[in-house]
Amino acid sequence: MDNVAAPVQAMIEEFAKLPGIGPKTAQRLTFFLLRAPKDISQRLADALIRLKEQVRSCSVCCNLTETDPCSICGNSQRDHSVVCVVEEPLDVLVIEKTGVFKGVYHILHGALSPVDGIGPKDLKIDELLFRVAKGDINELILATNPNYEGDYTAAYIASAITVSNIKMTKLARGLPLGGDLEYADEGTLARALEGRRIFDSAGH
Amino acid sequence: MYMQRISLLDFRNYSDISLDLGPGCFILAGDNAQGKSNFCEAAAMLSSMRSFRASSERELIRWGSAGGFAKIQASFQRAQDSCGVSIVISETKPAILPQSAAVPLDEQLSAGSARKKVWLNDAPKRALDCVGAVKVILFEPADLDIVSGAPSIRRHFLDVTLCLQSRKYCKNLSQYQRILTQRAALLKRIREGMDSAGSLTYWDEQLALHACAITAERAAFVARCLPYAEEFGWKMGIAALKPEYIPSFLAEDTVHGNQLFLEQLTRLRKREIAQGVNLLGSHRDDLMFLSETISLGVYGSRGQQRIAALALKLAELRVMEDIDGDRPILALDDVLSELDTTRRKALLNHVKNYTQVFLATAEPEALPDDFIQSAVRLRVSQGNIRQW
Ligand SMILES: [Zn+2]
């Protein structure tokens, strides 16, 4: 690629670092931008800058937000004593779509996975324990993905919570094992939210 | 069950052949590297959906094939019905991609890989759903390792066999692999002080659950094989041949077994963390072959080891028959050359009444005349198969 201008090469390399984008697609995107009107690149660049500058973490639930607290944590109509614990911000969107959940959330930003080097300190687990320790929470719904990593994360959280007057339930029924919450259909998820069962972990 | 017809297109060294078959014994005679083993490989693949010897399925596509794909197609008559199986293996990407840091690693690794498509009675299926639809038991020279090789080879044999028999076992096994990987990583993290030993609780329970189930299934299968293996052993001159499953842990039954397993695991805790390795479970079990009380894996002659391996495969066939009510197809690739005349006769007598048998050999003249006369004689030469 010696005969390609350095900025073009740099752009291709940056695109290729993104998930799901191979070298071919990276080239296609780069040449599309080169040929497209300048304001397309300008708007993309602005959006990229705003993404990192204006999106921050909600100090309550750790969701990504422009305002702190986020719109859900700041909503007094919602039940702040019921917290649904999920792996990713996308999971919040999926559950909100069902319209049946009136509580608030906690976003872990991943699941524990020893083989990937992800331990408790790499997730927002301490933040959750801090929320629990404040004593305003009656129920935790552990809605991690129904796979080993998600299950392990739920079991870990259940064993790390030492206060005894919290009801812990788990989303399980109807969700396909080995799946992601993100791919569960709305009806199934709504049923799962209504039919959640008490979590029985080894620590309890 | 038996194969009625098979077609191979650009599979290994076969460019395009079709054979009408039927019940009975088929002698596949031919010099080495003419395609006898390739035929056996194709037959076994129709049963297990995977090649027992190709390190990459791309190898299965004939060198220089015009279409860039290999096709195995066969129709079978089963006890209750007939059944058609087709497998197509096609090239996905050119074998050589420019090596570059900009190419993601997964793309580099999948370069030159193959895609496999499977049809059952002309309906497209996932390969996993077609495993064991028809059953072909293959014995080939490398199977000697089941007796003389490393324990992992014996466990692998049992896993492949049980996966052919049960989807549940197959699922259990793949979950077990996942648990082992995560748990080993966690043990290392605990050793490095990055996680607490309490984090093991969840994985211990999952490990116990799966290990007890897998070990119980394997042991039950070996126990079912025992009478058949022993009977064959006597015919082949091995006294009181006994395949015996050796679990690496104590488990009385699956209910109390889990508790017992967890207790043994607790005792190993320090060692497991220090070594960062899963020390207990089905992945450390073994299978032993005894004649009276002597281990054939250690003290048996090469001939005895071969007979013991063959006995296990033939017993596998009988156990599957007991379960399904349908006798699997048997393929014997080059097993006769290492047997003496008496044992060769005993083996042929043992299998001659099987529903369908493929017998690949480079020395057909060494077969007894009456056997040759009663069998269908096929000559394999340079990727062609003809009657002789
Ligand atoms: Zn929030």
Same domain, residue pair A83 and A144: yes
**Separation of CA A156 and ligand 1 centre (Å):** 22
B103 contacts on A by Cβ (under 8 Å): 16, 22-23
DSSP B321: H
Is A88 domain-assigned?
Answer: yes
Q: What does DSSP say about strands B2-11 and A139-142: parallel, antiparallel, or unpaired?
A: unpaired
| Residue A10 pLDDT | 94
- Note the pLDDT tens digit of each residue in B230-269: 999 999 999 999 999 999 998 766 566 688 999 999 999 9
Same domain, residue pair A143 and A97: yes
| Residue B55 pLDDT | 82
Instruction: Determine the average pLDDT of the residues in B186-210.
Output: 95
Of B270, B227, B274, B277, which is closest to residue B248 (Cα–Cα)?
A: B277
For residue A17, the domain's CATH number is: 1.10.8.420
Is A115 domain-assigned?
Answer: yes
- Note the pLDDT tens digit of each residue in B225-237: 999 999 999 999 9
For residue A115, the domain's CATH number is: 3.40.1360.10
| Residue B67 pLDDT | 84
Q: Work out the mean pLDDT of chain B and round it to a whole number.
A: 91
Angstrom CA distances, B135 to A117, B162, B231, B316, B330, stand at 42, 12, 22, 11, 9
Q: Which of B166 and A105 is assigned the larger pLDDT?
A: A105
Instruction: Determine the average pLDDT of the residues in A21-45.
Output: 93
- Total Cβ atoms within 10 A of residue A43: 10
Is A177 domain-assigned?
Answer: no
Instruction: Determine the average pLDDT of the residues in A81-105.
Output: 93
| Residue B310 pLDDT | 96
pLDDT above 60 for B108: no
- Note the pLDDT tens digit of each residue in B300-322: 999 999 999 999 999 999 999 99
Q: Which of A107 and B337 is assigned the larger pLDDT?
A: A107
Residue for token pair 């064993």:
A159
Number of domains in chain A: 2
Taking a C-beta distance cutoff of 8 angstroms, is the pair B159, B153 a contact? no
Taking a C-beta distance cutoff of 8 angstroms, is the pair B153, B145 a contact? yes
Same domain, residue pair A93 and A163: yes
**Strand order, beta sheet including B241-246:** B241-246, B286-291, B294-295
Is A122 domain-assigned?
Answer: yes
Range of the domain at A148: 79-170
CA distance B101 to chain A (A): 9
Q: Tell me if A155 and B202 make a contact (CB, 8 A cut-off).
A: yes
The phi, psi pair for B19, rounded to 5°, reads -130, 135
| Residue B138 pLDDT | 95
Taking a C-beta distance cutoff of 8 angstroms, is the pair B347, B309 a contact? no
Taking a C-beta distance cutoff of 8 angstroms, is the pair B369, B1 a contact? no
A159 contacts on B by Cβ (under 8 Å): 198, 201
Is A181 domain-assigned?
Answer: no
Of A65, A60, A55, which is closest to residue A83 (Cα–Cα)?
A: A60
Residue of A nearest to B104 (CA): A22
* Distance (Å, whole) CA B294 – CA B36: 35
All structural domains of chain B: 142-325 (1.20.1050.90)
DSSP A2: T
Same domain, residue pair A41 and A102: no
H/E segment holding residue A197: strand A197-198
Taking a C-beta distance cutoff of 8 angstroms, is the pair B69, B10 a contact? yes
Same domain, residue pair A155 and A93: yes
Same domain, residue pair A28 and A88: no
Is A184 domain-assigned?
Answer: no
Q: Which of B250 and B349 is assigned the larger pLDDT?
A: B349
Q: What is the pTM of this model?
A: 0.81
Same domain, residue pair A43 and A87: no
Is A42 domain-assigned?
Answer: yes
Q: How many CB pairs under 8 A join A and B?
A: 52
B102 contacts on A by Cβ (under 8 Å): 12-13, 16, 23, 26
- Total Cβ atoms within 10 A of residue B160: 16
Instruction: Determine the average pLDDT of the residues in B91-105.
Output: 49
Taking a C-beta distance cutoff of 8 angstroms, is the pair A120, A129 a contact? no
A203 contacts on B by Cβ (under 8 Å): 201
Report residue B119's pLDDT band, with 50, 70 and 90 as the boundaries. Answer: very high
Is A186 domain-assigned?
Answer: no
- Note the pLDDT tens digit of each residue in A139-149: 999 999 988 99
Same domain, residue pair A23 and A102: no
Same domain, residue pair A102 and A145: yes
Same domain, residue pair A87 and A163: yes
Instruction: Determine the average pLDDT of the residues in B341-359.
Output: 93
Same domain, residue pair A49 and A85: no
Token representation of residue A42 = 């300008």
- Total Cβ atoms within 10 A of residue A202: 12
Percent of chain A scored above 90 by pLDDT? 66
| Residue B104 pLDDT | 43
pLDDT above 90 for B156: yes
Same domain, residue pair A106 and A148: yes
Q: Nearest Cβ partner of B194 from A119, A152, A202?
A: A119
- Total Cβ atoms within 10 A of residue B134: 24
pLDDT above 70 for A195: no
Torsion, CA B324, CA B329, CA B333, CA B336, rounded to 10: 90
